[in-house]
Amino acid sequence: MDWHHNLRIASLSIYNTYEERLTYDGSVRTICGSVDGRYFAYTDTSNDNNLHVLDLVDSSKNKTYALYMPSIDGGDTTSLLEYADVMDFDISNAHVIFDALSNFQLGSTAYEFWSVGILDIGTGNVSNLISAQPSGVDIGNPSASSTQDWIIAVDVIDNNTGMCETRVVNLQTGKSGLVGEQLFVEQPGAESLNDGLGWPTFNGDGTYVALQYKQPGEVEASVIKVPISADSDGTVAGDFSHAESIEYNAYRPRYYRSGQSGGQAHIVVSSNTLDFGSVLVGSSAQRLVTVGNTGSYPLMITGYALSDSVQFMHDGGPIEIPPGYQMDVSVVFTPAGEGAQSAVLTIQSDDPEVPEVQVNLAGQAYTDGSAGGGGNTRRGCFIATAAYGSYLEPHVMVLRQLRDEHLLTNGPGRAFVAAYYRCSPPIASFIAKHESLRTATRGVLTPVVLVVQYPEPALAIFLAVAGGGLVWRNRRSACRKSRG
């Protein structure tokens, strides 16, 4: 966000530096993003107590929270939160840590102070960093640890002494350790970068805290980094004697870890092999492969490819899988000829590390009826499957319906189906290997499919054609008699 309260996006890559302005209305005041890239939180320039969280995966879950601060003195007194300012997501992506300006009335005296709250974006509940904040003390500029979700850094300003301490707080123990301290210089009427605040930020592996620091006697501030470590009771503190200067005349540091983004999709499959077992030629066996996303960012399945699309088919298509979710893809094997059959199903996605996953498909086809079935088997229409390319193709399904509902319900029909299953497998296998024969077979079968699918219109057309033929024949006969 720039000084005019507009959002800007900037590349952190040293190979592709650019900056782009995203908003122009000057309505955004402070922002932060979750580690996994899913959530974006911001406050606006209305300076109210609302904090807006956008779900970049599911916009229906966008939400505005009315922030508040619970009791600050252990009793019945509650503060009125005016507005939130600096904020940060913890590494669990479930909490926003924020500082806010609040006020409350105690008798005839009004108090105004800065404090730090922790918002649970799942429940909307807010908890205080410190339940009973001392009078004259402001706490702000929170920064979440990049490695532990119970460690945060804050600035603690003691208005009684004029000192600002940058401290690391352990939320589990409630204890804090000192990282650095400096003289706080408030400049009324204007926001100053050179104000003596620390503005802490953790480095990528949680071993340093960088802060803005003004040396005594210096005019401008510098950015320094202070090594931190935890003692035996979990209290994290800095070793200021080994602080290192990063940049002079610099302000408000922010660590960003270069390299792979924290928000990344990762594809997994339930198995890299699907075995269909023994399947009668022309029948079909179905297996499922489960595709999941164990990453922290939505996974986009972009496509599927089959090395043999005649005997194998699938029902997968482009789809987005949210983090932690999975889906089943049905794979059907309909052998057109005897022997061992195999293919490879390639699943393509936007996983940056594994853009393609291959699943090996295998089955044993037989024709003599002596081999064991392959589990979930269904007898198919051999020639129709070879012609249309899939056991689940709508035309094939209509012909299966004709077989099941009309032919197999009577003796002559069952005899015809039995003869068909004895003779058609080699014919189907031959047709499947020649595109011209597949086209010709479709031309023969399609009228049959239409008659089965639409019997009444087909009968009407037949009667109309037959009736027209009779009329034409009668007229021609009449013409011959008149000539005679």
pLDDT band per the 50, 70, 90 thresholds, residue 380: low
The more confidently predicted of residues 479 and 132 is 132
Tell me how long the chain is: 484
pLDDT at 98: 96
**pLDDT above 80 for 82:** yes
The more confidently predicted of residues 484 and 71 is 71
Instruction: Please state, in angstroms and rounded to a whole number, the distance separating the CA atoms of residues 311 and 31.
Output: 54
**pLDDT above 50 for 374:** no
**pLDDT above 50 for 370:** no
- Percent of the chain at pLDDT exceeding 70: 82
**pLDDT above 70 for 187:** no
Tens digits of residue pLDDT in 232-280: 888 999 999 999 999 988 888 988 765 544 457 899 999 999 999 888 8
Chain-wide mean pLDDT for the chain? Answer: 81
Residues 6+ apart with CB under 8 A from 261: 37, 297
pLDDT at 50: 94
**pLDDT above 70 for 325:** yes
- Backbone phi, then psi, for 28, in 5-degree steps? -95, 135
Instruction: Please state, in angstroms and rounded to a whole number, the distance separating the CA atoms of residues 91 and 148.
Output: 7
- Backbone phi, then psi, for 19, in 5-degree steps? -145, 140
Beta-strand pair 50-55/63-66: antiparallel
* Least confidently predicted of 14-18, 112-116, 166-170, 189-193: 189-193
pLDDT band per the 50, 70, 90 thresholds, residue 484: low
**pLDDT above 60 for 481:** no
pLDDT at 471: 53
Instruction: Please state, in angstroms and rounded to a whole number, the distance separating the CA atoms of residues 359 and 287.
Output: 12
pLDDT at 210: 96
pLDDT at 51: 94
**pLDDT above 60 for 446:** yes
pLDDT at 143: 96
CB 224 within 8 A of CB 249: no
